[in-house]
Amino acid sequence: MANKIFPSADAALKGIVADGQTLAVGGFGLCGIPEALIDALHDSGVKDLTCISNNAGVDGFGLGKLLETRQIKKMVASYVGENKEFERQYLAGELELEFTPQGTLAEKLRAGGAGIPAFFTKTGVGTQVAEGKELREFDGETYVMERSLVPDVALVKADVADKSGNLRFRLTARNFNPAAAMAGKVCIVEVEKIVEVGELAPDDIHLPGVYVHRIVLNATPEKRIEKRTVSASAPVDPVAAKVEAQAAIAQAAAGSEVPAVPVKNTKGN
């Protein structure tokens, strides 16, 4: 079995990434992004990249780092998000942007990984999204043809990998990562834990190792929160809270009363 484990993110990218490539990068906001691989991509100095990702992180973190250094020339994304530099570059004409509906973007990657060159969808019909694209009618409805995406490299994040590359993702961090991994001609995955082959139960594997070419361990990612909203905590009166809860329960019961059902006395008392 070929060794897929690399000692660092820099080493995992070496000989793979190059100027002018198209990269798919997993994640949604800052959830499930391959932090170490993005940092290594930043440090590599490669430029003129087309990045396919739901969004471009935030200012100074995630793909936002590559925007600041002008390593990205085009984004294929569904959301500008909290990234002011992304917005500024686009509005100033400094960055190409292919806005894609979120579900269509996910299907473009999934279809690319499944070997499907194109598909038809109703999403975007009658809008700028459909301009210049083939339209076709099915069962009296108009659909627009979308080409699938097959990026040169996929950078993804998973929770656990075994040494053959079988992956398990963690909760919502799964998001775009499996589709990106399947679509990429070469897939490099960043994980928080590596286990022996056989330690992951077959039913616990979300993506088979056949899609994964290189693995790098990042056991302590930062996992920065994209947008934090807090409010001042107020003192809680336990007696008032109990009364309020009882009142809410009583009100709910009154609003959905169920007729009493007679119960047969089987004990004779």
Is pLDDT at 267 greater than 60 in this prediction? no
Let me know if residue 95 belongs to a domain.
Answer: yes
Let me know if residue 112 belongs to a domain.
Answer: yes
DSSP-assigned beta bridge partners for residue 120 = 145
Q: Give SS3 for 267.
A: coil
CATH for 101 = 3.40.1080.10
Let me know if residue 160 belongs to a domain.
Answer: yes
Strands (E), the chain: 5-6, 22-25, 49-52, 72-77, 96-99, 118-121, 135-138, 141-147, 153-162, 167-168, 186-195, 214-217
> What Cα–Cα distance (Å) separates residue 5 from each residue in 10, 39, 110, 208, 227?
12, 18, 25, 16, 33
Let me know if residue 17 belongs to a domain.
Answer: yes
Read off the amino acid at residue 1. M
Task: Give the range of the structural domain holding residue 97, as residue numbers without chain letter.
Answer: 5-117+148-217
- Distance (Å, whole) CA 17 – CA 20: 9
Total domain count for the chain?
Answer: 1
Let me know if residue 15 belongs to a domain.
Answer: yes
Task: Provide the whole-model pTM.
Answer: 0.83
Let me know if residue 265 belongs to a domain.
Answer: no
- Distance (Å, whole) CA 81 – CA 102: 13
Q: Output the DSSP codes for 185-208.
A: SEEEEEEEEEE-TTSS-GGG-SB-
> What are the tens digits of pLDDT across the range 178-211?
999 999 999 999 999 999 999 999 999 999 999 9
Let me know if residue 196 belongs to a domain.
Answer: yes
pLDDT at residue 258 in the model:
46
Let me know if residue 268 belongs to a domain.
Answer: no
> What are the tens digits of pLDDT across the range 117-172?
999 999 999 999 999 999 999 999 999 999 999 999 999 999 999 999 999 999 99
